[in-house]
């Protein structure tokens, strides 16, 4: 396989937001700098959710003020509404990622709106963001299953994907928020989305390894022709609004797998591996990634 895969590094946002330890702004900027030095070119650096709801992201503006600005590096901020977008615009982010929870129960608990209401809000944010020259992604969270409602119908996910395309989003990310998905679901959803929206949006996936299927799902996505995947350095992360939502697939382990498959990612694993130790030290616990423990091969 000879594919170029873009890895969106989400450790500084989705990775840190579920941690009990709140890192200093200095440490967050050092983490992002390490990731850029190791080859990360798309980084979801911050969230503009209300600081009361996500206190680990309260210093979003301060972080964005100090991130290293280098050619070819794009920084994204997660936003939930127009207030979040207004904050993001003031920080010179390059991209915004707007989240819509596909299941009503999760959406109500997470954003205090129904899924339909969240979609309407997202369309408004996308329109405003594109008018300001920002690249726009809509993430459909709980696309593989909801911790409160159980299974989510694939037809519902496809319908929301159509609405994302109608809203003008440039990229669609399907999120396995609580790590319940299996490779067959990835294959099925990829086909459904393509049948529904064609090439209207670039397709991206966000996998969690909660039940040890995250890397199998990533493999299924790549073999289905998907070329954008989210991952988190060290495998840290989760969702503070979802019970037992453990870490994202680890950037370290994903890069190793993809490059052994013959894909290119732009990362330098030798430079990336020490970041896991840095995170373990700063967070006070060993991070889940396995490659930093085993080392490179050969």
Task: Show which residues are catalytic.
Answer: 239
Tell me which residue has tokens 């790549």. 222
Q: How far apart are CA 217 and CA 234, in angstroms?
A: 18
Query: Cα separations (Å) of 283 from 16, 149, 178?
Result: 9, 32, 22
The rounded Cα 6 to chain-centroid distance in angstroms is 12
Q: Pairing state of beta strands 95-101 and 228-231?
A: unpaired
Which tokens go with 254?
Answer: 């994903």
The 3-state secondary structure of 69-98, one letter per residue: CCCCCEEEEEECCHHHHHHHHCCCCCEEEE
Q: What is the DSSP string of 194-244?
A: HHHHTTSSEEEEE-B-TTS-HHHHHHHHHHTT--EEEEBGGG----TTSTT
Q: How far apart are CA 71 and CA 273, in angstroms?
A: 23
Give Cβ neighbours of residue 173 (< 8 Å, ≥ 6 apart).
97, 137, 138, 139, 140, 203, 204, 205, 206, 228, 230
Q: How far apart are CA 172 and CA 138, in angstroms?
A: 5
Let me know how long the chain is: 298
């Amino acid at each position: 396989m000879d594919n170029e895969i873009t890895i969106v590094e989400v450790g500084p946002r989705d990775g840190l937001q579920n941690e009990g330890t709140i890192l200093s702004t200095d440490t967050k900027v050092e983490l992002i700098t390490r990731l850029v030095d190791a080859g990360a070119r798309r980084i979801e650096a911050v969230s503009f959710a209300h600081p009361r709801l996500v206190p680990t992201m309260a210093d979003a503006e301060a972080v964005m003020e100090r991130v290293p600005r280098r050619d070819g590096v794009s920084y994204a901020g997660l936003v939930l509404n127009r207030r979040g977008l207004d904050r993001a615009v003031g920080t010179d982010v390059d991209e915004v990622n707007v989240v819509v929870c596909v299941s009503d129960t999760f959406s109500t608990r997470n954003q205090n709106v129904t899924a339909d209401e969240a979609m309407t809000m997202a369309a408004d944010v996308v329109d405003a963001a594109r008018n300001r020259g920002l690249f726009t992604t809509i993430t459909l969270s709980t696309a593989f299953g909801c911790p409160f409602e159980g299974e989510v119908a694939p037809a519902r996910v496809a319908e929301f994907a159509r609405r994302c395309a109608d809203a003008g989003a440039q990229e669609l990310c399907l999120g396995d928020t609580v790590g319940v998905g299996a490779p067959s679901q990835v294959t099925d959803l990829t086909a459904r989305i393509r049948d529904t929206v064609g090439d209207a949006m670039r397709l991206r996936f966000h996998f969690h390894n909660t039940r040890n299927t995250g890397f199998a799902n990533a493999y299924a996505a790549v073999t289905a022709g998907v070329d954008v995947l989210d991952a988190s350095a060290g495998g840290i992360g989760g969702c503070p609004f979802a019970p037992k939502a453990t870490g994202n697939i680890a950037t370290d382990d994903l890069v190793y797998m993809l490059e052994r498959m013959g894909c290119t990612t732009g990362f330098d694993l030798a430079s990336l591996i020490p970041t896991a130790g840095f995170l373990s030290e700063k967070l006070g616990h060993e991070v889940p990634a396995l490659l930093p423990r085993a080392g490179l091969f050969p």
